[in-house]
């Protein structure tokens, strides 16, 4: 026998993403999906001057290419 119970749960839905570099909103395509961007999370370790600090940011595709152009070793 199967006994079921209905439960409601909250789901987080991303409404908007803003590029931390240029400040532009990362748009959704015709299907409602966000255009490509990179989300970066960094938790700094004990040996860093930023010990315990957490950085979170989002970068649009255009800014990502602008940033990586400056890299000595390209990704």
Please name which of 74, 53, 56 lies closest in space to residue 65, comparing C-alpha atoms.
Answer: 74
Domain ranges in the chain are 37-68
Q: What is the largest CA-CA distance in the chain?
A: 64
In whole angstroms, give the CA distance from residue 17 to residue 5.
36
In whole angstroms, give the CA distance from residue 56 to residue 20.
10
pTM listed for this prediction: 0.75
For the stretch 21-54, pLDDT in tens is: 999 999 999 998 999 999 999 999 888 888 889 9
In whole angstroms, give the CA distance from residue 61 to residue 26.
9
């Amino acid at each position: 026998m199967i006994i079921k119970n209905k439960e409601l749960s909250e789901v987080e839905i991303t409404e908007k993403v803003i590029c931390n570099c240029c400040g532009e909103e990362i748009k959704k395509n015709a299907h409602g999906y966000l255009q490509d961007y990179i989300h970066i999370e960094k938790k700094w370790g004990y040996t860093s001057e930023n010990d315990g600090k957490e950085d979170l940011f989002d970068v649009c595709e255009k800014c990502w290419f602008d940033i990586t152009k400056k890299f000595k070793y390209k990704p």
